[in-house]
Amino acid sequence: MKMTKRQGVTPRSSRFKNTMQFIKFTLFSATAGIIQVASFSLLNELAHLPYWPAYLIALILSVVYNFTINRRLTFRSTTHYSRAMLKVFGYYLVFTPLSTWWGDRLTTIGWNEYIVLIGTMLINFITEYLFSRYVVFRGSIDSIDNTDSIDTAANVTGTSNPNIVS
């Protein structure tokens, strides 16, 4: 089988890695989705917050969790945590006002809050994967060395000392 120039990886194994990466992103995003829906439900049903503040709080909780998990386990990136998070913050500077605006408008005209939330989450899932893959972690995917003796907590936080969060 012909080898590509990129790290001696065959096109077939590269395709497999990309597929597995997308599956991992999907599964971790699903857990982030559970966090978002659960927190939105609590804020919407118990605290009786209007759509937009409940959505914003739930989105922030979901984003922080999803970014941290996907950086380490999906993209296996050693990219500096703060730099990568700033790029994700830039994505959400665009996505959050737009999704809050359309969500508020749709619920104001009578759409069900949960239908709007699920539709918004699907749009977020697709666009965030593409942005993470091709902007945030471009050039650093699979840069975590499998032989590293540093434990998982250190790799998730991006520090060599697991007791220090950067």
Question: Can you tell me the distance from the alpha carbon of 50 to that of 67, in angstroms, rounded to the nearest whole number?
Answer: 26
Other residues' Cβ atoms within 10 Å of the Cβ of residue 33: 18
Query: If phi over 0 gives left and psi between -120 and 50 gives alpha, with beta otherwise, what is residue 141?
Result: beta
> pTM surpassing 0.85?
no
The mean per-residue pLDDT over the stretch 5-9 comes to 52
Q: What is the pLDDT of residue 7?
A: 54
CA torsion, points 5, 126, 68, 138, in degrees to nearest 10? 20
pLDDT digits (tens, 9 = 90+) for 112-166: 999 999 999 999 999 999 999 999 999 999 998 754 434 444 445 555 544 444 4
Give tens-digit pLDDT for 13-48: 889 999 999 999 999 999 999 999 999 999 999 999
Tell the residue number behind the tokens 């609590």, with chain if given: 42
Crossing angle of helices 51-69 and 113-131, rounded to 10°: 30
In tens, the pLDDT along 76-119 reads 999 898 999 999 999 999 999 999 999 999 999 999 999 999 99
Residue with tokens 């990136």: 77
